[in-house]
Amino acid sequence: MAAARHGFPCHIRSYHRRMDLWTIDEHDYPSGGTPEAQLRFLVRYAILAPSGHNTQPWLFRVRGDRLELFADRTRALPVVDPVDRAMVISCGAALANLMVAAERFGMDATATLLPDAREPDLLAAVRSTGARRATSDPALFSAITKRRTTRRAFEPTPVPEAVLDSASAQAASCGAGLHWIIEPERKHRAAELIAEGDRLQCADPSFRRELASWVRSRRAAGRDGMSGYAFGMPDLLSPVGALIIRTFDMGTVQAAKDQALAEGSPAIGVFTTRGDGAADWLAAGQAMQRALLSITAAGLTSSYLNQPIEVPALRPRLAMLLGTGESPQILIRVGRGPELLPAVRRAVEDVMLSA
């Protein structure tokens, strides 16, 4: 009780504030406030979107009734994501969260993708055009703060077909496809591509250095990156994990682990788009996030195994496995896994640009 009387040390208070970012009181929404205040509140939901290596590569600017979403190129991953595909997809996921929240609070908001060709970093502009009755699915909205990425094994229980269909419908509403791989033989072929991607990536010292640079303790001041906790080790050992990743080619070990995770997962899903440019990546990000919210609302969880998309030589082979003629953008596995703490997040003030 002494801690309660004298207060926690600063680093502990800071850590708990990071976790509090996942706890949002709906009643704090400034329903009678200005459009600017309302849009700023919605950013609290946007920043809970997933991103590669938990880089959180987004920035926001609010001017009156207009919110702008920018890619933060300083958080790029030049080795694993040389064309910024994953970065833009992550920003699309943040946009999806924001729009689901806007609907929930009755904001009549419209989003324009890539509104100004002269500003390639400006990915979307959202304008508040007035209030209306809330129309979003309450379960979808509630899932924003409950969604987790689980890198551990799933229970073998099949995913109900209705859950898969609902997730696919959410993806389709954003102009993307979501193709499910359920059959053991096709799942095995996808898992082999994942394992081959692991071996190729881990053999590259540049890939290992980049990955290791984003592995850090949940208590680190940066409030980003991946903790060793997410991989099943104590958080305090995150620096040791980063050192191992940087120093040793663990491709064979990682390939065996990920192949087992993929084959043991009840369902593998691949998001696809007809094209392969920035607009398509934004669509894929919105589709992915809305599908993940639907999956979360059903009590399930997911994680990413994007190696066959990140390695250029493997991407066409994954597309051939799907047989759709479209471009694969994100690969997920879905099932019922253990409950985990949420990933750390940067505070809203850290991602806001001055007007």
Same domain as 183, residue 144: no
39 with 94, same domain?
yes
State whether 288 and 183 are in the same domain. yes
Q: Looking at the predicted structure, is the pLDDT value of residue 1 above 50?
A: no
Could you tell me the pLDDT band of residue 15, with boundaries at 50, 70 and 90? very low
Asked if 38 and 30 count as a contact pair (C-beta separation under 8 A), the reply is yes
CA distance 27 to 6: 30
DSSP string, 162-176: HHHHHHHHHHHTTT-
CB distance 333 to 268 below 8 Å: yes
Angle between helix 85-104 and helix 278-297 axes, rounded to 10 deg:
50
For residue 56, the tally of other CB atoms under 10 A from its CB is: 27
What pLDDT score was predicted for residue 193? 98
Query: Could you tell me if residue 253 is inside a domain?
Result: yes
What is the per-residue pLDDT across 59-115, written as a single tens digit (0 to 9) for each? Answer: 999 999 999 999 999 999 999 999 999 999 999 999 999 999 999 999 999 999 999
| pLDDT of res. 137 | 84
Same domain for 142 and 198, yes or no, is no
Tell whether 132 and 278 lie within a shared domain: no
Q: Domain containing 193: what range?
A: 161-203+249-335
Given a cut of 60, whether residue 170 has pLDDT beyond it is: yes
Q: Which of 99-103, 199-203, 284-288, 339-343 has the lowest mean pLDDT?
A: 339-343
Tokens of 39: 């849009």
Mean pLDDT of 111-129: 97
- Same domain? 116 vs 194: no
CATH number, domain of 44, equals 3.40.109
**What pLDDT, on a 0 to 100 scale, did the predictor assign at position 19?**
54
Residue range 44-54, pLDDT digits in tens: 999 999 999 99
pTM value? 0.94
- Tell me how far apart the alpha carbons of residues 102 and 288 are, in angstroms, rounded to a whole number: 18
pLDDT band for position 23 (50/70/90)? Answer: very high
CATH of the domain at 306: 3.40.109.10
Return mean pLDDT, the chain.
93
Same domain, 179 and 139: no
CB 197 within 8 A of CB 310: yes
* Stretch among 16-30, 87-101, 112-126 having the lowest mean pLDDT: 16-30
- What domain count does the chain have? 2
Q: At what angle do helices 184-202 and 315-322 cross, to 10 degrees?
A: 170
Q: Is residue 330 part of a domain?
A: yes
d(CA 344, CA 14): 11
Residue 229 pLDDT grade (very low, low, confident, very high; cuts 50, 70, 90):
confident
> Which tokens sit at 354?
């001055």
**167 and 253 fall within a common domain:** yes
Helices (DSSP H) in the chain: which residue ranges?
Answer: 2-6, 10-20, 35-46, 85-104, 138-142, 161-172, 184-202, 205-212, 238-247, 251-264, 278-297, 307-310, 315-322
**Residue pair 241/215 in contact by the 8 Å Cβ criterion:** yes
Q: Is the pLDDT of residue 11 over 60?
A: no
